[in-house]
Amino acid sequence: MATLTKASRELFRRSDDERFPSLSALSDFCNRLKTESIDRWHSPKSITVDTAMRLCAGTDGAFALNDWSFSQLCKMAGVAKDTVNRLTPETASLVFGETLPRTGSKPLQLLTNDDRMRSIHGTQYTRLWNADLVAVLQEFAVDFQPPQAGCNGATGLYAGEQDMFCFLIDPAGWCEIGEQAYAPGFFVWNSEVGRRSLGVQTFWFQSVCRNHIVWDAVEVVEWSRKHTAKVGEGLSDIRRIIEGLVRKRDQRKDAFVRVIRKAMAEKMGDDAGEVLKVLSRHGISRSLATRALDSARTQGVFSVWSVVDALTRMAGELTNAGERTEADEKAASFLHALAA
């Protein structure tokens, strides 16, 4: 089983204004950013940097650089970002005047938003809008939602000028895999400015902590694609991957429900003594079994389900984490053996 930390890293690096409470709110932000952003194509010869450290794009005007577009500009000029940051704006302007490429017939792709430069790319880069990716999630992941709020209030849904990231789970999708219960979830990410690839990671998990670390994940599958000419086809791939996760969830959920229904209907014994013998054969300690039976007795019948439910609740009261884990595993194994 795997421990997944992608969402936890996002939780600690995102500011309040990059967190969103719902897919609808995230969609509104991404659509607004898409609408307000403009692609501009310019020859390298028309690109200069003024003494205020703004990128001047021909007759379109001067645009303030953010951290990402400044990094791209330094890379294009072949100068170290740290070195330029130590220069005065006037000297830095001269450096870019000497180092920015001026030859070549292919234009540069500049993405602006109001008076800010969001990104600088060549002709090989193909943009995929975050809004289009969120629309796929809204259409094909209808039963999925963000996990519980993180320890610092983080939501699992993030977006800013540079990229977006979504962490979604199906809290009602618990299914049996082997002898334990898992729920489906996935991460999906993208960047409109080339900060990261387009990607998705699906999994089945047992728990998510308040740091948004996903524990005991199985069937972890990751897919990603760079922002080249066919990146738009990635939306179809992500839709197919999510549909496959939903289809497997439904198949497993039906099987899980059948096990639970059988467990509720099947009686373990007519009295406590008979049931204690059965529990003992499955490795349940006498002290834990006795407490569980006292609890199950209040339900009027010693069904497989009532006893397993009581065992699980009793296990949760154990102070030692190792003992809790062992008791939970025995209860799940017991359910699978008697009701499957």
For 146, counting Cβ atoms within 10 Å of its Cβ (0-12 exposed, 13-18 middle, 19+ buried), the class is buried
| Separation of alpha carbons 284 and 295, rounded Å | 15
Where is pLDDT greater, at 311 or 18?
18
On the question of pLDDT at 336 being above 70, the answer is no
pLDDT band at 239 (very low <50, low <70, confident <90, very high): very high
Least confident of 140-144, 197-201, 319-323: 319-323
On the question of pLDDT at 28 being above 80, the answer is yes
Query: pLDDT above 90 covers what percent of the chain?
Result: 64
At residue 57, the pLDDT reads 95
Closest by CA position to 326, among listed 282, 273, 294, 295: 282
At residue 332, the pLDDT reads 62
Q: pLDDT tens across 287-325, in order?
A: 777 777 777 665 556 777 777 777 766 766 666 655 665
Where is pLDDT greater, at 44 or 291?
44
In sequence order, the β-bridge partners of residue 157 are 166
pLDDT band at 335 (very low <50, low <70, confident <90, very high): low
